[in-house]
Amino acid sequence: MIEDVRQAIEDLKAGKLVVIVDDDDREAEGDLVGLASLATGENVNFMTKHARGLICSPVSKEIAERLDLFPMIDVNTDPHGTAFTVSVDHSSTTTGISAFERAKTIRALADDNSKSSDFQRPGHMFPLVGRQGGVLKRRGHTEASLDLAKLAGDVQASYICEILKDDGTMARRNDLFAFAEEWGLTIIDVNDIARYMSFEDNVLVNLPSSHGDFDLRLLEDEQGKEHLFISKGEISNKKPYLLRLHSECLTGDVFGSYRCDCGEQLQTALEKIEAEGQGAVLYLRQEGRGIGLKNKLRAYQLQEKGIDTYDANLALGFAADERDYGIAADILSYLGIRDVDLLTNNPNKVEQLEQAGIHVHERIPLIIKPHQENQLYLQVKKEKFHHILNF
C-alpha cells in the first residue's frame, strides 16, 4: 500500500532496514534493504545473522561508470539478468569481510567523493547496477531499493540481502511477513513501489469548464492506465473531502447515452463539487465495470436480446462487476486524502475504500431521474448490484 511505501522511506532515512517482497511469479523472495550512505556494521551483521543471503550493493548506472564497476562477466546468463559487477573492497579495509569493513565499503560506494582507485578488486562486496527506469522497467530488488533511495532524497545506492529461513531454504511471502513482524520491520511489495513511482510522474493543469474552474491531474498507474483527478479547492483533512469515484463510461460520459445514468452522474457530481467549493471526481479507467469498451458493447448486444446488464457480463465470462477500487484508495492516499464524503449509490465502493484504509464519513446519494431507456438497467442495479436507489 502507498502508506507502507511512505513508512519504508521514513525508516530508511532513519538508518533502519526494511523488507521488500517481489512478485510471486518472479522470484517470490524478500530482501532486507538499507540506504548505502547510512550503512552500519550493526545492520550488516544483522543481515549476515538473520537474513543469511548474499549481501550486495545496488548502485545507479552513473555511479557504476564513475567508479569503473565493470560487469563481472561478458555474457550474463542469470535468469533475471542480475547485473553483477566485479566485487570490491574499500582500500582502507584489511580483509574486507567483517561486517564493519563491508559497511565501510558500502558507504564508500555511495560517497560522491569516491573514485575508482579507492577500491580493490576483487573484494567482499558485490555491486549490482540498476536498470534505468527502475521498477517500472525491471521488477527486481535492485531497482526497488534504488527507487526507494531516490524517493528518500538520497544517493542512488543501497545494500540488500536475501532472506533465508533457519533451515537454509528461501523465505517466501508468509515467512517474510512473519520475519518482518518478529523484528518490527516495515515490509512492502515491489508492485507498491512501482505504483508509487508511477504516481510521482503526474501532470497537473487547469481545467476551465461549463461546470466551473477545476484542476485536472493525471496519475498513471504501473500498468500504464491514465486516471484523472478533477478537483476544486485545496486538499485538506480538516473535514471530510467531497469525492465521486467515477469509472469511465465513454458512451454515457461523452455521448450522453440513456442506456445508463453514468454521464448524468458525472455532470451532477461536478456541479455539486463546484457548489461546495471543494472536492473532486476521481475518474478511473475501468470501462464497462472493468471489462473494457469492446466487451461492454458486446454486453449491450446481449441486453438487446433480453439479457440484463448483470447477466450479460456473466455470459461473456466475467464477474458481474470487475472493478477494483484499490487503485482509487492508493491515489487518495498518495494525495493525502484519508476521510471522504462519497457521492455514490453503490455500497461496494464504500466497503472497498474502507477495507483499503480510506474512511467514508458519509455516503451521499447521487440519484438521477430515470429515462425510459434505462429503467430496467436501474432496476437491475438496485436488485442485483444492491445500489441504494429510492425508486
Compute the C-alpha angle 373/376/381, nearest 5°: 120
Is 244 annotated as a binding-site member? yes
Task: Confirm whether residue 124 is marked as ligand binding.
Answer: no
Q: Of residues 102, 131, 195, 323, which has the active-site annotation?
A: 323
Q: Is 349 one of the annotated binding-site residues? A: yes
249 in a known ligand binding site: yes
Spot the catalytic one: 321, 339, 341, 363.
Answer: 321
Q: Where are the beta strands (DSSP E) in the chain?
A: 18-21, 30-35, 52-59, 88-90, 119-129, 158-163, 187-189, 203-209, 212-220, 226-232, 241-247, 279-284, 339-343, 359-364
User: Per the structure block, which three cell numbers stand in for 17?
Assistant: 532496514
**Catalytic-residue membership of 321:** yes
276 is in an annotated binding site: no
Q: Is 243 exposed, middle or buried (0-12, 13-18, 19+ CB in 10 A)?
A: buried
- SS3 (DSSP) at 352: helix
Q: Supply the DSSP string of 106-134, one letter for each residue.
A: HHHHT-TT--GGGEEEEEEEEEEEPPTTG
The reply to whether 344 sits in an annotated binding site is yes
Is residue 245 a known part of a binding site?
yes
298 flagged as catalytic:
no
Q: In this structure, are strands 88-90 and 119-129 parallel, antiparallel, or unpaired?
A: antiparallel
Please tell me whether 309 is known to bind a ligand.
Answer: yes
Ligand-binding annotation for 260, yes or no, is yes
Beta bridge partners of 334: none
Q: Is 248 annotated for ligand binding?
A: yes
The answer to whether 141 is a known ligand-binding residue is: yes
Instruction: State yes or no: 96 annotated in a binding site.
Output: no
186 belongs to an annotated ligand binding site: no
| CA distance to 21, 64, 81, 128, 323, per residue, from 78 (Å) | 19, 19, 5, 13, 38
Give CA separation, 181 vs 9, 161, 175, in Å. Answer: 18, 18, 10
* Annotated binding residues: 26-27, 31, 138-142, 244-249, 260, 262, 265, 287-289, 309, 344, 349
* Annotated binding residues for D-ribulose 5-phosphate: 26-27, 31, 138-142
* Annotated binding residues for GTP: 244-248, 265, 287-289, 309, 344, 349
* Annotated binding residues for Zn(2+): 249, 260, 262
Residues noted as catalytic: 321, 323
